[in-house]
Each structure stands twice: as C-alpha cells, then as structure tokens.
A and B are shown apart, each in its own frame.
Chain A
Amino acid sequence: MSRVIAAISTAAAPAGLGVIRLSGDDAIEVACRFFRPKSRTKTLRETEGYAALLGRIYDSDGDIDECVALVFRAPHSFTGENVVELSCHGGLYILQRTLRAAIQAGARPAEAGEFTRRAFVNGKMDLTRAEAVMDLISAGGRLAAKSALITHEGALFRRMQKVCGELTGAAANLSAFVDYPDDDIPQLQPRELSRVLENARVELSALLERFDVGKTIREGIDTVIAGRPNVGKSTLMNLLAGCERSIVTPVAGTTRDIIEETIRLGDVVLRLADTAGQRTTTDEVESIGVSRARERMERAALVLAVFDGSRPLDEDDRRLAEAAAQKTSIAIINKSDIEQKIDEEYIKGLYKHTVVLSAKVGEGRDELERAVLEVSGVAALNDTDLLLANERQRDCARRSLDCVDEAISSLSSGMTLDAVGVSIDGAISALLELTGEKTTEAVVN
C-alpha cells in the first residue's frame, strides 16, 4: 500500500501550462475528489490507462481551472503506480491551489526525489541507477534543509518556535505533574492550560494565513517605490497604475504617507506602495513619513529604487541606493527626457537591473516591464523549493492546529489531562516535523 503523493511537476516559473502529478495506489480515487469531468457520462475511475479526460478542478472554495487529466494505470507509468497528471493553465497561483486541492483530497506533498524513488523501488529504473537516485534524494534533502534554514532566520519560524515552546512547556508541566507525584509539583491549572492552547490556536491560525503562498501570488508581489524626495516616485506610480493616484506637485516632500495600488505587468501582479521621499529632515510630520517609508522598504519583496537622472547623486541618494541594493530590487533612473547629470555607472555597479526612463513622458515602460518580469521570474524560480517546503509546512501547521482544537475541546468537555496530553503531543510533533527534527510517516512507502 503506497500513499498518494502529489507535487507540481513543472517549473514554477511563468509558463503557459503547468502539471500536477499524483502517484500512489489511490491516485485515481483521490483525483476524483477534486476533478469533475466535463462529460457527465465519463469518470476518471473508468478511464483507461494512457487516456485523457477534460474537466474542471475545484476545491472547497469553488472552481479553480479547466484542465486535462491524463490517467496512467499501474504498472504502466513513470513510477509504476497509478498516476494522474493534471495539465492546468500555467501560473503559480492556479498550480498552488490545485496542489492544495489534491492535499485536501487526501494526497500528501511529495518529498524531494520521491517520485524517482518510487519509480526505482517499483523496478521502473535500472539497478545501475540506484546510486544516482540516492544522490538525487540526498541532494534534495540538503536543499530542503537549506530552505528550512532560510525560514529559520525568519520571523515566521521564530513565531512558530514560540508556539512550539509554549506547548512543550505545557506538555512538560503535565508530565512532570504525573511523573513526580512525590515532588509536590503544583498542577497546571486548567485555566492556564486553556490560555496556552487558545494562544496557540490564534498563532497557528495567523501563521496558516501567512503560509498562503497562493495568496501572495494572487494579491501580488509586495513592491515598494523608494527614493529621495521629488525624484518622480509618484509620477512612476501613476504611470504604472495608469491614472493619477499620488499627489504630484513639483514641491519636494509632497507624499507624506504610503499610497498603495495593485497593478498587473504582463503575467505578474505587483502590489505597489508609493512611499514618502527618504531624506534627512527636520519637519516632524515628514520625518514620520520617512521612517515609515524605510520600514516599508525593509519589509518589501521587491524594491523599485528611483533616482533623478537630471541631478548628481547626493548623500540621501547614495544611502538609499546602497540600502535598496541589499534587497531584490531594480534601479530606475527617471527624467530621461531632460539633461542627464547622474553618475550612471555608480548605480549600474550596485544593481543588476537598471532601467532609464521618463515617467512623465511615459518612456521606458516596456523596458521596466521586462526587468520586473525577469526579476520576479528569478524570484519565483528561487521560490520553487521554498514553495514545496511551504506546502509541507502548511500541512504540518494545519495538522498542529487540528490537534490544538481537539485539545481545547477535550479540556472543555472534561476529559482527563492524559487525553488532553495526547492532543498536545500531536500538535508538538506536527510542529517538529516542520523543523525536520522528526522523521515522519512521509518516508514510509
């Protein structure tokens, strides 16, 4: 009996088509739960091997996309198991949501190299390739560990660690109370226990929200337009947004707060934030805006750093240029319609992508679009492993939350604490899976 695994099998870069692959004894059964054939007389269950069926995929939120399901029956498939390949339209959001629908339907996110491993185990690969397969898995594991390491430094990880720590504390308290009946350890008060559980519930729910990569893709890449005052940030914003949103005046320092707009550049959605010009200022109101702008830039996934091409760079420019270059960013030299006095080489030395344009005249928009696509494409590619890791993390967080909910209801219905402890242990072990501290059933064939 092998559990159904699922993964996005095409590169997570902007593309016309994307494929989700399911493999396992029940792959066809699982696919039936989120794929509805167009023809009422046909079902996936009755579809023969090597045959395709047109239909729609859906999840609990509704319809996702039209797609073609290709059925392979064991042993005639890549893995030697029952396989369903769903060809959807490209785009990370749709693929992500489809993968999640598969997981909701009972599949498990595939481990690195797991399809290949199954193919090997089922005799679909030559014995001489065994070592290559082992290397592949091991490399995949290292990559996953690396992406886990990335999240280790993140705020998300720290919050999760805090939840895990609190739950572990409660579990330890429960077991100390049990394991040392002679040491007059005070009982963990049910009220305190339910406070910890309630807290964990709130945190995990919030984390789950944040895990939603699909949401980021749907709602766009968090992008900030930054620059010292009057370099034309608002004009650029208006150019991209296609209408006048920011207050554009020739007086430097007009935009004192953050203005947001969602725009689409080709395949990519940007959530644009126009920020106050960053300069050293004595104006109290303006300085609040400036510090907000700096914070906002720190948080952003993409920074468009704007410079005034008609003036030499000053201290404020250089400080900003260096700060923004630390992030995924594009340098924009604005006001190309008038005489250029800027040190272009300095900027180009700092940034991989530099676009020269005139926001006012509307020149260079295409060039900017290309740069944005390239940068976000690279970001998406870099994200492929993270995406996979994230889907698994999300799965863990989800299971952890379920256990916490169960513990809360056990506690309130008056179950004994050993039963509550079982649920808490479940919540902790799901969280430990995230950090890779625990080997899971995932490795069982």
Chain B
Amino acid sequence: MRFFAGQYDVGVIGAGHAGIEAALAAARLGCSAIIFSINLDWIGNMPCNPSVGGTAKGHLVREIDALGGEMGKAADATLLQSRMLNRGKGPAVHSLRAQIDRREYSGYMKHRLETTPGLDILQAEVVKIERGPQGFKLITSLDAEYSAKTVIIASGTFLKGRIFIGEVSYEGGPDGMFAATSLSESLKELGVSLRRFKTGTPARVLSSSIEYAKMEEQEGEEPVIPFSFETKKKLKNQVSCHITWTNTETKRIINENLYRSPLYSGKIQGIGTRYCPSIEDKIVRFADKERHQVFVEPCGLKTDEMYLQGLSSSLPADVQLELLHTIPGLEGVKVMRPAYAIEYDCCDPLQLNAGLEFMDIPGLYGAGQFNGSSGYEEAAAQGLVAGINAALKVQSRPPMILDRASGYIGTLVDDLVTKGCTDPYRMMTSRSEYRLILRQDNADERLTPIGREIGLVDDERWQNFCTRQEAKKAERKRLRETVLPPTEQLNSILVSRETSPVETGVRLEELLKRPQLDYETLTPIDLGRPDLDPMVREQVEIEIKYEGYIKRQQAAVDEMRRLENKLLPEQADYKAITGLRKEAQEKLTKIRPRSLGQASRISGVSPADISVLIVWLNSQRECN
C-alpha cells in the first residue's frame, strides 16, 4: 500500500555523475533534496574507463570545478596517474586526463553526499512520476511516495537497460546491476518522448595474467596538474598504463565472427556513439587499418582488475577471449568481466530548454546519458546545470543559462537543446567555435564569477580567485611597462632561440609575443620578475602570445551575444508569423528557442527567417 514518505524541494533520480552534481548543487544552494540510487555501493560508478578528463572532457571538469561542482575535487583525491594531453598542439587544446581509483572515487562521492547538509540518500528504484499539487510525486518500487517541487532525471543507462554479449541478451543495468524497467512508461505518460541508444565497454582482465614486458609503458607526467583550482596538495603519479596493439590475426577473428555480433545481426536497435566505437566497428569502418591501439589501465590500487581501453565489444564471450589472446602481452590473459553492450531509453533533448528543463513539463529536468550524451564529464556538467536550475526554480530565481562563449558546458547544453543528437553526444574541442577563449587554464575566469553569483562559490574560494586575478593584472602591467636594453646577453638568448636580435630597448611583452620565446628562456634577463603562481604565469603567457587570435574570437563572441540577448517570447506562435518559411515555422515551433541567437543556430532557419523574426519582435513590442 502506498504511503507518504517525505517532502523535498528537489528529487534526483540516479546517483551517477550527473545525479551527484545535481543533488550536491541543489543542497548546497539551500534546497532540501533527495537522491535515489538503485545500488548505494555504486554511487559515482565508472562502468566504463577508470579515468576522468581527456580532450575537451578535461575542459568540462575544470569548468565544473570553476562553477562549484565536485568532480574535479573527487578526481584529484582519487587520482592514480595524470597526463596533460595535446601538449605542443597549443594552449586551446591542452587537456588533462587522469586515471582514477574507481572504488575510491565512488567512496569519496558517497561520503560527500552523506555529509552534505540538507541532502538525503536512498537506495530505491523510482518506478513512477506523477504530477502533484506541489510539483511531482515520486513513487518507489516499495510504494513509498515522495513529493518534490522539482525533479531531475539522471538515469544513465538504467532505463529499460538491456545487455548484449554475442547471442546472449538479458535485461540489466551496468556492471551487473538490475535495470529500471518501469519508469519509462511513466515518463511517456507524462509526455516525454523516448528513444533507444546503446553504448558498450571492454573486458576487465587480471593484471597478473598480463605480460607487460611485451607492451609499451606509459608513465604519468610530473608535476601533476590538478583538475580543481582549489587543490593545493601536491599530487603524485602512482601507477603506469601500458600500450599494445591489435594485429591482422585479431582482425581475422573479428571478421569471421561478425555475424555473431548483435550489432551486425540486427539484435541491437539502439544507436551507438560514433566517436567511441567498439573494436568490431573499428575493424569494419577502418578496414584498411592494420592495427588499433589498446591501453591497459589499472582500475585501482587495491585491485588487480585492468581495463582494456579501445576494445569495447559486444561479441560473444568465447570470441572475446580468442581475440584478446592474439594481442601481444595478452596471450594468456584471464578475463574477469567480459565486454558487453548496453541498450537503454533516453529522451530527445530537443524537448528541453537551455536550462535542461522539459519545456512542456515545467519543474522536470533531464541530465546526462538520459539526455542523449555519453561520458562521465558530459553527464556531470549537465547534472550541475540541471541541479542549479532546479534549485533556482524552487527559490523563484531566474535560471542559469550558460552561452556558448562561456565554456564547453554552455556549448554542450546548447548543442543538445538546439541541434539535438542522433547518436550519443561526446564533447570535442572541434565543437566549440571559440577554442582559444575556452581554455582549460582560464575556466575560473569564465565561470567562477557566475558560480559566485549563484551561491556555489564560498568566500575562501572567491578570495583565492580574486587574488589570482589581481596578480595577473599586475604581471601584465609589469610586462607591458618593463623595457629591456639591447644587451649582449639578451641578444645571445634571442639568437640561440633562432629569433632576431634587437637593436633598441624592447618591452618584455614584445619578447613574449614571439613564438620562439617563453617565460623559461627569459629567466636570466627578467630580473624583476615576482614569484608567480604557475596558473597565473601560464595564463599571462597565453594571453600575450595569442592576443591577436583571442581578440578576433572575442569580437565574434561579442557579435554572437548581441543576438543571444534578443529574447523570443516562450509562447510565440511561429505558425502565425507571415513571411517565415514552412520549414522554419516547424523547427521553431518544435525547438522553441530562447533567443534570436539560438534560433539562428537551428538548421533550417535561414538568415531571411531571422530578419522576419526581428521585424516581428519589434512589431510585438510596439503592440504592447
């Protein structure tokens, strides 16, 4: 029999990377919140790779941290190894990636949730969402009813989850947990349209059965740069990863057994990620490639389980073993958990607004894989946005909308709610048109003031941020005003770096502009240099070196923001606006853009349509 079990401001369904950030943000903003998880032992689980960050994803983690999220701190606290990817490819694309002790990470997050005031944690499966007098009613499988003013769905891959391993398939969630089988129907009744996506993960194998001597070792990089702007503790690399390659024999085995793959036999209907393909997918799509890279990554310090990045698969277990044994170093490998594919329900994000709220169901939010994305970092970013907005709604404050120029988080959300996605969305640096502005080093500058305004950045953090900003300003002034005489010492440095010597005095700033020079090379002659925070130093150097490009992108940003600030009424009847082409009317009606800027990014809305909207907006204004 149904019983009333509690009343909350914010209810969060799912305690993965999205749910955690959502619940923490809501509670930290002063809301009473409850987070539901099917299994409390797997809060913040990493069912795929035991790592955080990577290209563009590293940017997301820094931005989550800058706004006041938890992911960066948790990753720093449980880090096994860290590398800065894309060094040498330019500051816009530097990305942090860290190997994580996944058990420790999960424990860290669970404890963080447990100790956050105002937040309750419950192991329960939510089977039903109903509209209630004060928002929503959430009903668990034990018939307990919770009321919540706002609800965030962060169900990951649990909704009607189905596992595929070769010819075998069964109902199930990730990592041996059970699936959430009832909630989908309830969501459909509420008016949410759902679809099927799929993803997959490679096998976990026993470390002692691997011959590492046959592989290439990949150590971490020193010094370790933390994800969080707040991590002061010096972090250390504790483990190595290893690299090996597939070969023609691997290829042969896969090709011969393709017919047994559920993906190719048509059993899997869900759409998989284009950017994170399974090994059989890679063999088929890049048929001319002889070998594919495999990374062997540790899952933790207290386990011998190793993750095989690059070998995600849904081939039968016997084929998996056979193909693993063709790979150098894995000839005698013992599988602990086989690779699998998982198919699940998720929503079409075009139903959401830029605050990640369902436009037709105010108070209901979506985040993470439920919104059609892939990746822990993408999920956490959306969880933070949804959690903040749910709390702001409860407090009758205006929503937080992050535009594309504010960061990768804003870009991610805008892409999802404006363009939608046809396969699981992965963040990439190429998705941003403002890469030189959206760097991982300046995430705090872009987002900490916003986090402060919302209330997620405490005084101490704000003080630290302001101190860094002051230091940066002072250093830029010093570099602009310090003139070095054309001494022999200076010119010998210049010549040794293959750049032209100077005949007159030269400003430090001018020297730093040269691609051949940096802070390091100028040390012997820059005698008045203060003791600088490495973060400040890095930012100053990049700002000077890339000034021209940054200015160009900033001009584009300003231009974009002008359109972004022209808001469209939520209830606009686009079908009644004369002059709009039919395609534009339909797209605008479906997506309901917030601003002219968002409207202009919808495919099928032409510049002429935008002009028509401008005139229409003006006539509306005059009518009122």
Contact = CB atoms under 8 A, between A and B. Distances in A.
B615 A137 contact: yes
Contact of A443 (B275, B436, B610): B610
Contacts of B580: 134, 138
Contacts of A436: 606-607
B88 interface: yes
B546 A419 contact: yes
Interface stretch (B101-109, B323-331, B456-464, B616-624): B616-624
B190 interface: no
Given A179-B428, A181-B55, A144 B608 contact: yes
B616 A183 contact: no
Contacts of B42: none
A61 interface: no
A133 to B, nearest CB: 5
B516 A127 contact: no
| Chain A contact patch, size range | 35 or more
A124 to B, nearest CB: 12
B302 interface: no
Contacts, number: 146
Interface in A154-192: 171-172, 175, 177-184
Given A135-B578, A179-B430, A416-B91, A111 B435 contact: no
Which DSSP category, helix, strand, loop or mixed, fits chain B's interface? mixed
Interface stretch (A97-105, A219-227, A256-264, A421-429): A421-429
A80 to B, nearest CB: 12
B615 A178 contact: no
A51 to B, nearest CB: 30
A121 B614 contact: yes
B614 A422 contact: no
Interface string B70-90: 000000000000000110111
A111 B618 contact: no
Which DSSP category, helix, strand, loop or mixed, fits chain A's interface? helix
B609 interface: yes
Most buried by A among B85, B552, B612: B612
A178 B55 contact: yes
Contact of B579 (A138, A415, A422): A138
A345 interface: no
A61 B619 CA distance: 44
B309 interface: yes
Interface residues of B, number: 55
B614 A445 contact: yes
B607 A141 contact: yes
A103 to B, nearest CB: 18
Contacts of B379: none
A159 B610 CA distance: 29
A184 B429 contact: no
B623 A138 contact: no
Contacts of B55: 178-181
Contact of B93 (A182, A184, A418, A444): A418
Given A178-B55, A444-B562, A127 B608 contact: no
B430 A175 contact: yes
Given A117-B611, A130-B616, A178-B89, A421 B435 contact: yes
Nearest to B602: A439
Interface in B505-549: 515-516, 546, 549
B619 A422 contact: no
Interface in A378-415: 413-415
Interface string A104-144: 00000001111001001101000100110111011011101
Contacts of B95: 181
A116 to B, nearest CB: 9
A440 interface: yes
Contact of B618 (A121, A178, A439): A121
Most buried by B among A113, A135, A145, A416: A416
Most buried by A among B55, B85, B605, B611: B611
A114 B611 contact: yes
B607 A182 contact: no
Given A144-B608, A175-B430, A418 B615 contact: no
Contact of A141 (B515, B553, B559, B609): B609
A425 B434 CA distance: 10
A442 B429 CA distance: 27
A109 to B, nearest CB: 13
A413 B616 CA distance: 49
Contact of A418 (B54, B90, B295, B577): B90
Most buried by A among B55, B90, B95, B609: B90
Contact of A442 (B90, B310, B607): B607
Nearest to B578: A131
Nearest to A1: B562
A180 B95 CA distance: 11
A329 B89 CA distance: 58
Contacts of B563: 443-444
Given A134-B615, A413-B515, A416-B90, A112 B293 contact: no
Interface in B137-173: none
Contacts of A181: 54-55, 85-86, 95
A385 B605 CA distance: 22
B515 A417 contact: no
A436 B607 CA distance: 8
A314 interface: no
A416 B608 contact: no
B433 interface: yes
Contacts of B581: 138
Given A131-B579, A141-B606, A444-B559, A425 B433 contact: yes
A134 to B, nearest CB: 3
Contacts of B549: 419, 422-423
A46 interface: no
Nearest to B617: A121
Contact of B515 (A414, A418, A442): A414
A131 B600 CA distance: 21
Contacts of B428: 175, 179
Contacts of A442: 607
A141 to B, nearest CB: 2
Contacts of A418: 89-93, 435-436
Contact of B309 (A142, A182, A422): A182
Nearest to A172: B430
Given A114-B611, A138-B612, A439 B89 contact: no
B254 interface: no
A339 interface: no
Contacts of B295: 182
B296 interface: no
A415 B517 CA distance: 11
B90 A142 contact: no
B615 A133 contact: yes
B56 interface: yes
Interface string B478-521: 00000000000000000000000000000000000001100000
B610 A439 contact: yes
Interface in B117-154: none
A339 B8 CA distance: 105
Contacts of B90: 415-419, 421
A443 B516 CA distance: 41
A443 B429 contact: no
Contact of A134 (B293, B516, B606, B612): B612
A284 interface: no
9 contacts: A111-B611, A112-B608, A113-B611, A121-B615, A178-B89, A416-B88, A419-B90, A421-B90, A439-B600
Given A112-B608, A113-B611, 9 more contacts: A120-B619, A121-B618, A127-B623, A138-B608, A178-B89, A179-B430, A181-B95, A422-B435, A439-B600
Interface of A: 111-114, 117, 120-121, 123, 127, 130-131, 133-135, 137-138, 140-142, 144-145, 171-172, 175, 177-184, 413-419, 421-423, 425-426, 429, 436, 439-445
